[in-house]
């Protein structure tokens, strides 16, 4: 029997594949370890989105290759996005790897485990979690000029609604209370298989699953969101008014070169329309600084945009020129150090906004989903309010009450420390 540790790198969309690999490992009679030290086999599910991810992978592979050489582990398997980007180079450098499994090729992995082939998307959570990601489509039909995803993961392939419903039910049975819809472009879900955007139909169906308290939709491309969907947020109470629009920039000449359609004014109008219809709505975004042709004035405009738009959270990334993308060929490339300085400038503007928006919750009572309890200190309990997506937004630290992971509790917010809300347990909401 093999005991696998899965090193799941990259984004939540990759985590969904890792959980499928976990299911296959368990179903084939093998075991899973939550720590690498307890495993005799390692499966690395890679991310190859940007050069930094490949550098990180190189470090991780070199570590496990050393363990393999020292016979401290018996098997080393690599899969994921790297198989469609720079795989040959990695294969050449790491002969210690026993199997290189193509991206999402679960059947080949099963053969590696000497088990019968199946095309299932059963999953087993890698950890005890209160939430579950549901990857509704994979790949992308957009052609943002800086992005390698379409060349790595191919065009968008949506999963049919009945399959997604069955998968969501299965994850609810493992204890998830929050369902988080992810894809490269969730707004375009269904175009390939239904000939129309089918996100509303999917949400209506998933809303029926009783165990879920919250449904959150991530990665909503601002060019593809339909204003008529606002009604869904009124009709379906589990659907959180949390809007993640990865807008990337606000300046028209940059957005155009990025291959995006809406300019800053149109994006601001979209957000304002949503706010008028749903006053409690919160917005998160991602931004890129240092894109070719960006000027110091553009950065000032971006800071102003962030201040005016009042995103609750924003991830800001320095532009990374990636081989094979159109953007790498553009004139007026920006020095990486300048792109990084600009990133911190924008992050600084954003953190003040985040802080002032979070302060408004002090003194309020909020439902909070308990995510984690520090094993060595059961009094340290972390959860999330509805406006916190896991891992990328802030958390709520809960004092008292000894709640359990997966419970929804009412918390009275007493303080804001950094960007962490701190509160007192009031009662369990079930
Ligand atoms: S929407 Fe653009 S940035 Fe996002 S995955 Fe597709 S091509 Fe890449």
Give the model confidence (pLDDT) of 192-201 as tens digits.
988 889 999 9
Q: Residue 279 carries which DSSP code?
A: T
Global pTM value = 0.81
**Ligand 1 atom closest to Cα of residue 219:** 4
The C-alpha atoms of residue 3 and residue 14 are separated, in whole angstroms, by 21
**Contacts (Cβ under 8 Å, ≥6 apart) of 252:** 263, 264
Angle at 368 between CA 182 and CA 386, to 5 degrees: 40
Give the distance from CA 113 to its chain's centroid.
29
pLDDT in tens, 95-124: 888 888 889 999 889 888 874 433 346 677
Mean pLDDT across 187-208: 93
Domain formed by 365-428, architecture: Beta Barrel (2.40)
- How much distance in Å is there from the Cα of 365 to the middle of ligand 1? 37
Determine the Cα–Cα distance for residues 429 and 401; give it in Å rounded to an integer. 12
Give the mean pLDDT of the chain.
93
Ligand 1: which of 143, 185, 317 to mutate, most ligand atoms within 8 Å of CB? 185
Q: Dig out the tokens for 213 from the structure.
A: 């308290």
Distance CA(49)–CA(338), nearest Å, equals: 21
Q: What is the position in ligand 1's atom list of the atom closest to the CA of 221?
A: 1
Element (H or E) spanning 352, and its range?
helix 336-359
User: Which residues are paired to 318 by β-bridges?
Assistant: 289
Q: If you take atom 2 of ligand 1, which residue's CA is the nearest one?
A: 144
Residue 254 has a pLDDT of 98
Residue 147 Cα to ligand 1 midpoint, Å, equals: 6
Percent of the chain with pLDDT over 90: 78
User: Tens digits of per-residue pLDDT, 339-353?
Assistant: 999 999 999 999 999
CA distance linking residue 249 with residue 272, whole number of Å? 17
Quick: pLDDT tens for 29-88: 899 999 999 999 999 999 988 888 899 999 999 999 999 988 899 999 999 999 888 887
Contact 16, 117 (CB under 8 A): no
Which residues does a 6 A CB cutoff place in the pocket of ligand 1? Answer: 140, 142-144, 147, 149-150, 184-185, 221
Q: Residue ranges per domain, the chain? A: 3-112, 131-359, 365-428
Superfamily of 131-359 according to CATH = tm_1862 like domain (3.80.30.20)
- Write down the pLDDT at residue 360: 96
Q: What is the pLDDT of residue 419?
A: 87
Instruction: Give me the residue label for tokens 């004139």.
Output: 331
Q: How many residues does the chain have?
A: 430
Query: Domain 3-112 carries which CATH code?
Result: 3.40.50.12160
Number of helical (H) and strand (E) elements in the chain, helices listed first? 13, 18
């Amino acid at each position: 029997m093999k005991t696998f540790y899965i090193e799941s790198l990259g984004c939540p969309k990759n985590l969904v594949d890792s959980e499928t690999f976990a299911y296959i490992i368990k179903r084939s009679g093998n075991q899973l370890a939550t720590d690498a030290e307890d495993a005799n086999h390692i499966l690395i599910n890679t991310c190859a989105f940007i050069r930094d991810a490949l550098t990180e992978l190189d470090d991780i592979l070199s570590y496990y290759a050393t363990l393999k050489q020292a016979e401290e582990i018996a098997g080393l398997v690599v899969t994921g996005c790297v198989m469609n980007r720079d795989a040959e180079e990695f294969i050449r450098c790491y002969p210690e790897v026993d199997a290189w499994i193509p991206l999402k090729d679960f059947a080949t992995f099963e053969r590696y485990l000497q088990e019968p082939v199946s095309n299932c998307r059963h999953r087993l959570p890698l950890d005890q979690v209160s939430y579950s990601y549901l990857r509704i489509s994979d790949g992308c039909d957009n052609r943002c000029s800086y992005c390698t995803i379409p060349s790595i993961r191919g065009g968008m392939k949506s999963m049919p609604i009945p399959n997604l419903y069955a998968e969501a039910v299965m994850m609810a049975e493992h204890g998830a209370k929050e369902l988080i819809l992810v894809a490269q472009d969730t707004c375009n879900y269904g175009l390939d298989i239904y000939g129309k955007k089918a996100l509303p139909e999917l949400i209506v169906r998933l809303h029926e699953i009783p165990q879920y308290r919250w449904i959150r939709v991530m990665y909503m491309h601002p060019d593809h969101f339909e204003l008529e969907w606002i009604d869904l947020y009124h009709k379906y109470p589990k659907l959180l008014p949390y809007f993640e629009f990865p807008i990337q920039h606000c300046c028209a000449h940059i957005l155009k070169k990025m291959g995006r359609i809406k300019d800053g004014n149109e994006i601001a109008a979209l957000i304002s329309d949503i706010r008028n219809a749903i006053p409690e709505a919160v917005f998160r975004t991602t931004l890129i600084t240092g894109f070719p042709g960006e000027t110091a004035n553009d950065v000032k405009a971006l800071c102003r945009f962030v201040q005016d738009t009042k995103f609750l959270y924003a991830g800001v990334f320095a532009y990374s020129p990636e081989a094979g993308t159109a953007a790498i060929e553009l004139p007026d490339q920006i020095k990486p150090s300048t792109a990084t300085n600009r990133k911190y400038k924008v992050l600084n503007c954003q953190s003040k906004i985040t802080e002032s928006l979070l302060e408004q919750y002090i003194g309020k009572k909020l439902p909070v989903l308990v995510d984690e309890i520090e094993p060595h200190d059961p009094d340290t309990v972390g959860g999330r309010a509805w406006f916190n997506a896991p891992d990328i937004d802030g958390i709520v630290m809960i004092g008292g009450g000894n709640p359990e992971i997966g419970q929804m509790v009412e918390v009275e917010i007493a303080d804001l420390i950094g960007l962490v809300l701190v509160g007192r347990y009031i009662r369990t909401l079930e």
